Amino acid sequence: MNIRHKATTIRLLDFQSVSMRAFHMTWLAFFLCFFGWFGIAPLMPIIRTELHLTKEQVGNSAIAAVAITILVRILMGWLCDRIGPRRAYTWLLVLGSLPVMGIGLAHDYRTFLFFRLAIGAIGASFVVTQFHTSVMFAPNIVGTANATAAGWGNLGGGVTQFAMPLLFTAFISYGAGSWWSWRLAMITAGVALLLTGVAYNFLTQDTADGDWKTLRREETRTHDVNKPSAFWQACRDSRVWSLALLYAASFGIELTVDNFAALYYTDNFHLSLRMAGVVASLFGMMNLFARALGGIVSDRCNRRWGLRGRGLLLGCTIGAEGLAMLLFS
């Protein structure tokens, strides 16, 4: 779909223009999704003891939270193409808030695994975030916009590592007890997601040119936009697979660290719940600048070498990550 009025600059203090309002809402929504997605991770030392979880069960729950995201991301891409990013994000936030709050009802391994699996669906927020910023910003700045929105959203994976133990401690101090405190902390995160979903519906629009469904109907009159082979054409494109493999390698490391870092520090270094969260948060906090910097460099590479330049940059980044993991593990 050809959007005529895409923004060509990023003005962070602009909260009035359609493009910048969408930018701020996307990174905030993604931040809270990451916060809810990995909010349970820094509390696992408490939950493991309370629910009598084995090492294998802890691992299985972490895998479940990530695995379901693969399927839901494909679904969200399909929904964005058909109903637009505003409606897609609104429904994802509202429905995704339910298992985040619902995990407070978990009383054994099965119920905990079920809700952890369902929570993983909000990991698809990345798709809508990138889709919405892509249709709002012009090619000269879209890499920076995508990377900054995604990076500040990923920041939620770092903030939640120290914020959830603090929230847990706050409820403890008010006399809630350990049993209630971690549940109330997750309910708080779920309520924040629910309210953000409502706000997203009213504060954003699909594109700078208007409503997605209206634009799609207008385009349908002159073009065949419902080609059933579009998905398979994408699957046959080698560039799609190369980017998918590169992204799987880099994002896979991030999700693994977000899931297990706090538990690792409590088990191997005997840190308190709060201190383990603080140390674990340092990894995710790098997104404050690292991902945005990657977007800026990516835009420069794109001007000089096109998509090949973006892919080369990503490959070099993953190589550096792998070397660092090998040296410091």
Q: 326 falls in which pLDDT band (50, 70, 90)?
A: very low
For the chain, how many structural domains are there in total? 1
Task: Report the chain's mean pLDDT, rounded to a whole number.
Answer: 87
284 domain residue, yes or no: yes
Does 299 reside within a domain?
yes
pLDDT per position as a tens digit, 252-291: 778 888 899 999 999 999 999 999 999 999 888 888 887 7
Q: Does the predicted model carry a pTM greater than 0.75?
A: yes
Is residue 4 over pLDDT 80? Answer: no
Whether 251 is in a domain gets the answer yes
Is residue 189, in this structure, part of any structural domain at all?
yes
Return the amino acid letter for 102.
G
Q: Is residue 1 part of a domain?
A: no
Q: Is residue 93 part of a domain?
A: yes
Q: How far is CA 79 from the centre of its chain?
A: 17
Residue 328, pLDDT above cutoff 50:
no
| CATH of residue 75 | 1.20.1250.20
| Domain with 79 in it | 18-215+231-328
Residue 315 in any domain: the answer is yes
Maximum Cα–Cα distance for the chain, whole Å?
Answer: 65
**Per-residue model confidence as pLDDT tens digits over 290-321:** 777 777 777 777 777 766 666 666 656 655 55
Report yes or no on 85 lying in a domain.
yes
Q: From residue 304, how far is each of 142, 157, 166, 311 by CA, in Å?
A: 15, 33, 46, 13
